[in-house]
Structure 1
Amino acid sequence: MTLFGKEHVERYRATDGAEGYEWQKGTTILLLGTKGRKSGREYTHPLIFREHDGAYLVVASKGGAPEPPAWYVNLQADPEVTVQIKGEVFNARARTATAEEKPQLWREMTEVWPAYDEYQQKTAREIPVVVLERA
């Protein structure tokens, strides 16, 4: 069974990632908690990730849509986030990879999910790589 959205978050949390950590095509998933920039509500998003030098990388692709995902806009307003990887939950600070960092980090992420290159071709916006660093 492939999990998506709210159900993915619920199963991941209920099982400490036993269900939902491993996802499609060998990818792994973390849960990213952000605060709504307008509502102040807490939101949780299951995202493909990769570890990199003690930090964690995610991609704000939204499948190549012309606008970024809401979670990315929210973390730009408030970069203090929560991250859950399997049973471990921790605070982190999110930042967009710099222009110097991005080419290497993009390659690392397309190794685990090659479709990111297709998503980038579908949109005029530059799809960001987000670095999540433990607080």
Structure 2
Amino acid sequence: MDEVPAGRTTATGQERGGLRRFLRRMTSSKAEMEAEELQQSTRAEEATPITACAARKRHCVAGTLRTVTLRPRGGAPALEAELYDGTDVINLVWLGRRKIAGIDPGRRLRAEGLVSLQDGRKVMFNPRYELRGGS
């Protein structure tokens, strides 16, 4: 065991953990910190991390809308939103809709539905959703 000089004490596990968190915050980029916060809020919502969502399975996801666009699909309007939870993104698509009140970039959202893959991207069509705090 290492000897501690007189008048000095060793850091407890809790102090070292706090120091580690402080140093990580100081060296992390803003994007990394936001991703970590989103991941924590996803756990609090009891939602599945998007990175863990399997195709052809129903999942509940939560995160922040990055983009919202109107894209016609097969001649019909479709509102598309990209949801980010700190681990990955999923496209939420509402077929036949041009606008949905509250669906705006920066908005927190919880969505539930069947996950599918299109062109290698995760997509959820006509999900049930709940607007959460934010923008």
TM above 0.5, yes or no, is: no
Larger-gyration structure (1/2): 2
What's the TM-score once normalised by structure 2's chain length? Answer: 0.26
